[in-house]
Amino acid sequence: MPLLVMKFGGTSVADLDRIANAARKVQREVERGYQVIVIVSAMSGRTNELVGWVEGTSRLYDAREYDAVVASGENVTAGLMALRLQEMGVPARSWQGWQVPINTTAQHGSARFVSIPRGNIDAKFAEGMKVAVVAGFQGVAPDGRITTLGRGGSDTTAVAFAAAFGAERCDIYTDVDGVYTTDPRISGKARKLDRIAFEEMLELASLGAKVLQTRSVELAMRYNVRLRVLSSFEDTDDTSGTLVCAEDEIMESKVVSGVAYSRDEAKITLVTVEDRPGISAAIFAPLAEAGVNVDMIVQNISERDYEDHPGAVTDMTFSCPINQVERARKAMEDARAAGRIAYDDLAVDTEVAKVSVVGIGMRSHTGVAARMFRALADENINIKVIATSEIKISVLIDRKYMELAVQALHDAFELEKA
């Protein structure tokens, strides 16, 4: 019997009525002949509430107890979903992470999958169970303690189950009806994509698109799990939503598939750093140790001799999330105090945003960068930093121009056209 994985996010199970709505979608797939594994998130807002309770109880909390409390939100949803399906005449049973078991590492709060044995769930399917409702976002450490996977972990749970059970597809139900060429709230010309390649979706997710969690796309690409993103609040069929799949399932790709953005960026420049072998490692090793997520990097090479700096010097610029600026500043100041690096000044700009164009078509087409830069120049938008990959070009610009840049690039690459 074919198997389908269906994942419902927090807004899709926010109350009893929405749980009932999700259950009807599951019932429909059972009636079509599928065995179904349903992965559920906590009800909308519940995880934040639970985290608030933990932080209100203990400022320096034990991560193991944090996981025990925060994982309970998904357990409630799983039980309620199973009950609703039973009331509808669908043989269903809820499963917590330890019951499957979902084996993970012991890194509480951000655990990673080790294995998902099929035996327990397969045995229940053989006994007549049609739906296994599994609490997402959680697992069990080698010592038997509950673990959680970090925010967005239910998406990753769904993909992991699809891979472990050889599912025909993994359907991600959310509050949007698919993946768009850009944020429809910014551009009224945004168009829903019928299909998008794993690599494109991974870039869009990492660049700020909120539709899918980055780890889930990485896992899907690794195990070739076909994902479908679709709305919980609309009637759907086999053509609904956006299919995330391997590149060879897409007949003809546009040069650019989407425009992504991130508001919460900061630009940091170390002014007059000695230009010598090993200087990059001396700068970025302390940042890594401090947990700073460095993104774009530019080194301004200079052969000039400054009066106070015999030999060549350079400026080193990098970007990072705005909430990591103080951590980055302290890491650099500590490295300078320890004599690992020397610089004259540390300049921080927190009024920037990152805008990117993404498309697997870039591999076989030239002139994408020139077209992008011309579109921004026509709007008098100055580029501060540029970063590229095989299927992506990202620029750092003043945040006040972010929406204008997104609209200009969407128009320049005619993404409103199918």
| Residues in the annotated binding site for substrate | 47, 74
* Contact between residue 387 and residue 295 where contact means Cβ atoms under 8 Å apart: yes
Residue 148 tokens read as 């959680």
Q: 299 burial class (0-12, 13-18, 19+ CB within 10 angstroms)?
A: middle
- Annotated binding residues for ATP: 7-10, 174-175, 180, 185, 210-211
Residue 282 tokens read as 């001396």
Residue 53 tokens read as 């309770």
DSSP code of residue 180: B
- Element counts in the chain: helices (H) and strands (E): 12, 18
Quick one: which H or E segment has residue 281?
helix 279-289
How far, in Å, are 72, 126, 127, 144 from residue 233 at the CA level?
25, 32, 32, 38
3-class DSSP assignment, residue 363: helix
- Annotated binding residues: 7-10, 47, 74, 174-175, 180, 185, 210-211
Nearest CA to 43 out of 6, 74, 70, 66 is that of 74
| Separation CA 36–CA 98 (nearest Å) | 19
Q: Which residues pair with 243 in a beta bridge?
A: 195, 228
Q: Which residues pair with 35 in a beta bridge?
A: 3
Buried b (16+ CB within 10 A) or exposed e, 185-216: ebbeebbbbebbbbbbbbbbbbbbbebbbbbb
Nearest CA to 394 out of 355, 368, 367, 359 is that of 355
Buried b (16+ CB within 10 A) or exposed e, 104-118: beeebeebebeebee
| Separation CA 210–CA 396 (nearest Å) | 19
Nearest CA to 10 out of 1, 22, 2, 27 is that of 22
| Separation CA 349–CA 297 (nearest Å) | 14
Q: Which residues pair with 133 in a beta bridge?
A: 38, 94
User: Would you say the C-alpha torsion 40, 43, 45, 51 has a positive or negative sign?
Assistant: negative
Residue 230 tokens read as 């679709």
